[in-house]
């Protein structure tokens, strides 16, 4: 079994904030796996894909800073180990249009990860979706709790669609393949210009 948790804040006020890209992504992944409607459980909302492998999708409703409460409760109930947890979240240290996957590591100052670390440890998988940083460090809180611009959302929508389309590779044990497929869709390689042929002598 796997648990895939998208991080964000509940309520219409926050729905399209940069900080909620984890919620937006896990919605799309759950749809791609044919999971039914979300139901309230574990201080969050949960749905389940019963095909192989069995996957639970979770959106904590505790607000970002307490995300670990919902994640921990769900993992304990279903006896899911940390290495079978995937957390999807926004990352200030990645530029918009970038995505990274890794297992374990630090929290980078992300309050949702701090809470999850406290409840389940650090050996879970992270899917980091870049949102970039504001130029003024004092504006970080306002920045993450603001909506994506139209241009930013065009980029994020493309990333989320690619992430959902290839997510089966990640839960199937091929994180490198997942990253490669997503990267190719986000930034396809440029075709080389054909060389001009010399005129025949």
User: 138-176 pLDDT, tens per residue?
Assistant: 899 999 999 999 999 999 999 999 999 999 999 999 999
Q: pTM of the full predicted structure?
A: 0.91
Over residues 89-112, the mean pLDDT reads 93
Site of tokens 């130029």? 135
Model confidence at 191: pLDDT above 50: no
Q: Is the pLDDT of residue 114 over 80?
A: yes
Tell me which residue of 42, 157, 47, 45 sits closest to 96, measured CA to CA: 157
Active site residues: 19
Q: Among candidates 170, 163, 81, which has minimal Cα distance to 129? A: 163
Name the pLDDT band for 3 (thresholds 50, 70, 90): very high
When the pLDDT of each residue in the chain is averaged and rounded to a whole number, the result is 91
Tokens coding 132: 């970039």
Let me know if domain 2-186 sits in CATH 3.40.50.1470. Answer: yes
pLDDT tens-digit map of 9-62: 999 999 999 999 999 999 999 999 999 899 999 999 999 997 778 999 999 999
Q: Where are the domains of the chain?
A: 2-186
pLDDT of 108: 87
Average pLDDT over residues 105-132: 95
The neighbour count for residue 167, using CB atoms within 10 Å, is: 25
Asked if 53 and 2 count as a contact pair (C-beta separation under 8 A), the reply is yes
């Amino acid at each position: 079994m796997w648990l895939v948790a998208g991080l964000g804040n509940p309520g219409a006020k926050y729905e399209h904030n940069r900080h909620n890209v984890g919620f937006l992504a896990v919605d799309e992944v759950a749809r791609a796996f044919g999971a039914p409607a979300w139901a309230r459980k574990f201080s969050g909302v949960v749905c389940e894909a019963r095909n192989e492998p069995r996957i639970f999708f979770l959106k904590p409703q505790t607000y970002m800073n307490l995300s670990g409460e919902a994640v921990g409760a769900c993992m304990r109930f279903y006896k899911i180990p940390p290495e079978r947890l995937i957390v999807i979240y926004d990352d200030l240290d990645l530029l918009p249009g970038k995505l990274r996957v890794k297992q374990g590591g630090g929290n980078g100052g992300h309050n949702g990860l701090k809470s999850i670390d406290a409840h389940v440890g650090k050996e879970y998988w992270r899917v980091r979706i870049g949102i970039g940083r504001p130029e003024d460090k004092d504006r970080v809180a306002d920045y993450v709790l603001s909506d994506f611009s139209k241009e930013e959302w065009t980029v994020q929508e493309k990333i989320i669609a690619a992430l959902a389309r290839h997510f089966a590779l990640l839960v199937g044990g091929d994180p490198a393949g997942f990253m490669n497929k997503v990267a190719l869709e986000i930034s396809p390689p440029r075709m080389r210009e054909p060389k001009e042929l010399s005129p025949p002598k």
